[in-house]
Structure 1
């Protein structure tokens, strides 16, 4: 792993990963892929920590009662209608096993692109980031939008595909196809090889 690499762990939150979550954009209800994505995310975080790669955990959260949330797009209208992702709720909490450790950065945002109107750019600058390893939920939403933005900012972008998910496989695959135009698509184990047994 080169110096300047930072891992962006995007939306590993209860509302999008837990079976009781209300947001189905990243993992379809009853999906048999949920466990594999969570396991890959756990390996990704563990691998980055072993390699000494800084991790920035990115969460989405809205004010209580969704006060001031801009509902110009269907995705935000749906979140408000579901009463989801309110600050302080179970849904915005980290999925078990994917929580930040002490000293790891946490950034909160409230649009699709993790960079938009958030402190993410400043946090990455402070970390000396030049290369972003990214993964999260959903592939076609926060991951793709943020990867595009990061590439436009001049970062080298790599997406750990198996630690990402979309509600449908074809949508996940299409997002990765698009991401491959502006960055690299890899697997968790190729980025952070497992420790020898």
Structure 2
């Protein structure tokens, strides 16, 4: 089997840092936040050890949000709270999970919609890397993660979701989304996935 690619979604300051504007309900002392950070780092380190490509996906908008079509409540909320503005600390990657400049096979994709395949080079990049299988994780499970998984399946990729490297504002939303994705993807934890795909 061809090597997989990791798609790491929205590991950004506004979403993961205790001082971030979004944080999807993950407070500084929340055990779920700690577990997510540990699992996500393990996933990225494992991918690097195996030489797998990593695509770090970020969301960011102009300071005036002229590039944000606010046709959904979640998108309106981003503008209302002033989150993930291009060039701001909040739109930067969370330091522990940021791309490594010394790794040639780490890539960054910036998107504007919920689905990071929409109007980006993500699919072209995966095809150019000769990828057939993707390992997806990020925040939030029921939003960008599920949207990415569904689009990837429709594009013909085999999809695995690393559940412990994902999170939502509530455990209920997280678990419902994982159960929904089990119809289209493998859902596992980081350790088991690294062992299965190596």
TM-score tier, shorter chain, comes to over 0.9
* Structure 2 unaligned blocks of 5 or more: none
Deviation at residue 26 of structure 1 after TM alignment: 6.2
After superposition, the C-alpha distances for 1:81-138 in whole angstroms (9 at most, x for unaligned) are 0011100001111112111112211000011111011111111111111101000000
Report matched runs for 1:152-171 at 5 Å: 152-171=154-173
After superposition, the C-alpha distances for 1:37-87 in whole angstroms (9 at most, x for unaligned) are 011000000001111111111000011221231001001100000011100
Q: Identify the residue that residue 16 of structure 1 maps to in structure 2.
A: 15
Q: Identify the residue that residue 125 of structure 1 maps to in structure 2.
A: 127
Report matched runs for 1:138-149 at 5 Å: 138-149=140-151
Normalising by structure 1, we get a TM-score of 0.93
Question: Equivalent residue of 1:65, what SS?
Answer: coil
Normalising by structure 2, we get a TM-score of 0.93
Contact 1:28 1:168 in 2 (8 A): no
Matches of 1:168 and 1:78, distance apart in 2? 17
Contact 2:13 2:91 in 1 (8 A): yes
Contact 1:109 1:117 in 2 (8 A): yes
Matches of 2:30 and 2:24, distance apart in 1? 12
Matches of 1:101 and 1:65, distance apart in 2? 30
Contact 1:26 1:139 in 2 (8 A): no
Matches of 2:40 and 2:56, distance apart in 1? 12
Matches of 2:191 and 2:57, distance apart in 1? 22
For residue 180 of structure 1, the aligned residue among 179, 182, 188 is 182
Cα 1:81–1:93 change in 2 (3 A) is same
RMSD (Å) for aligned C-alpha atoms = 1.3
Q: Identify the residue that residue 44 of structure 2 maps to in structure 1.
A: 45
* Structure 1 unaligned blocks of 5 or more: none
Q: Identify the residue that residue 110 of structure 1 maps to in structure 2.
A: 112
The size of the alignment, in residue pairs, is 192
